[in-house]
Structure 1
Amino acid sequence: MKENAIRCAWVNADPLYIAYHDEEWGKPLYDDQKLFELLTLEGMQAGLSWYTILKKRESFREAFDHFDPHIIVKYGPDKVEELLQNPGIIRNRLKVQSVITNASVYFDIIREHGSFGGYLWSFVDGTPIINHWESISDVPASTPISDSMSKALKKKGMKFVGSTILYAFMQASGMVNDHTLNCYCRA
């Protein structure tokens, strides 16, 4: 973490948020399970701020068995009720149930395409898109690519994968580099 560095305008002063921006956001991520975790957390963010989710990320990891799809896909009604009682996570029934549904689709994608990450990265031809935004106000909420990814994942049965959620996911996973031109992480 670089002190007194110029960062993207969305970063607040919390060291947790600064570390997330500096060390994770926009760095290409290819690991299937880590991409599943990130997609899950982005879905949990719907209607909330990423900062809220980030502060709860460790609780989410603990509650959802470190986002292991092999375990999550076997969750039943008792586990759903347990999760809905957990104050450390977002206790929204539809969001919780979507994680189980999405774990099942995760395996469908792997069976069909060989890897979850490979499938997701195929939407950007396997290479990060480098944008050149002057300020945060220039950054779109969604793009034709996130629209396409959203449509494809919904068709496969995934939930909480709207275009805006997926564009945030693409930014976070490094599929697009949306660090503003003045941000020291740009390089």
Structure 2
Amino acid sequence: MTQEKFDTIYQRAAERKGGESSLEARLHQPLSSEEIVKITNNQWLAHFTMKVFQCGISWQVVRNKWQGFEEVFFDFDPELLLMLSDEQWEEKARNPKIIRHLTKVMSIPANAQMLVDASYEHDSFSKMVANWPKDNVTGLWEYLKKHGNRLGGNTGPYALRQCGVDTFILSSDVEAYLRNTKIIDSGRNTKRALKAADAAFAKWHQESGRNLTEISQIVAYSFGENRF
């Protein structure tokens, strides 16, 4: 099946959302590369931790506890957190100011180490992300999955989007569209599927000049139940 032209997708999304002006008003924009570079390791770790804890429970429950998280985990300073012993981490995991879940708590030092390691290798984690090739954004997802902890599936991509990184998301609606149009025909996180998704979004980017964040939202609005 020939890949659908982006303009066709856009027009369908506009029709479903009350016209082009209404559709455009719904679109969120990513940060620029210059803005991404300014994100601190503390901010990255906070966003990664929030998404890890939001997985499987109400996002609002995590938000309601967030002040406690910031207090217990030193405002997510990776250098300070990596000085803690295993016993201290176990103690923090029992603190009633946070959501007590040892496995998820232990993702924090693992992801802190990823940030510190990337900073040594690339000068900063933010510079690595800002310079990541746009036609291989799923490679960045794989980096988070391989070097981080509990950042596989959609957790890593949603954390990146929350930080303002330009990335598409394989949300329920986007995945359904890609399957319906035969762009992907294997497991969502297989190399084959991710490569096909990268190629499709790169082609739509070339056609439209739009960023991946916009394209992802427009694809979602053009198909399915729009839970995006």
Q: TM-score range by the shorter chain?
A: 0.5 to 0.7
Could you say which residue in structure 1 is the equivalent of 2:14?
none
Q: 2:43 aligns with which of 34, 40, 43?
A: 34
Q: Name the aligned partner's letter for residue 62 of structure 1.
A: E
Q: Name the aligned partner's letter for residue 149 of structure 1.
A: L
**Unmatched tracts of structure 1, length 5 or more:** 1-24, 126-143, 182-187
1:58 matched to 2:48 = no
Q: 2:97 aligns with which of 56, 66, 88?
A: 88
Alpha-carbon distance, 1:27 to partner: 6.4
Cα distance in 1 for partners of 2:30, 2:61 equals 21
**Unmatched tracts of structure 2, length 5 or more:** 1-27, 167-212, 219-228
Q: Deviations over 1:111-144 (max 9, x none)?
A: 111111122233465xxxxxxxxxxxxxxxxxx7
1:68 matched to 2:58 = no
Q: 2:110 aligns with which of 76, 79, 101?
A: 101
1:148 matched to 2:133 = no
Could you say which residue in structure 2 is the equivalent of 1:5?
none
Question: Identity percentage over the alignment?
Answer: 25
Q: Deviations over 1:84-116 (max 9, x none)?
A: 221221211111111111111211100111111
Compute the RMSD of aligned alpha carbons.
2.7
Cα distance in 1 for partners of 2:55, 2:120 equals 28
Alpha-carbon distance, 1:164 to partner: 0.6
Alpha-carbon distance, 1:57 to partner: 1.2
Cα distance in 1 for partners of 2:52, 2:58 equals 11
Name the SS of the counterpart of 1:163 in structure 2: coil
Name the SS of the counterpart of 1:162 in structure 2: coil
Cα 1:119–1:50 change in 2 (3 A) is: farther
Q: Is the 8 A contact 2:51 2:155 kept in 1?
A: yes
Alpha-carbon distance, 1:64 to partner: 0.4
Cα distance in 1 for partners of 2:151, 2:49 equals 9
Alpha-carbon distance, 1:168 to partner: 1.4
Q: Name the aligned partner's letter for residue 171 of structure 1.
A: R
1:160 matched to 2:168 = no
Q: TM-score, normalised by structure 2?
A: 0.53
Name the SS of the counterpart of 2:154 in structure 1: helix
Alpha-carbon distance, 1:56 to partner: 1.3
Cα distance in 1 for partners of 2:59, 2:113 equals 25
Q: Is the 8 A contact 1:84 1:92 kept in 2?
A: yes
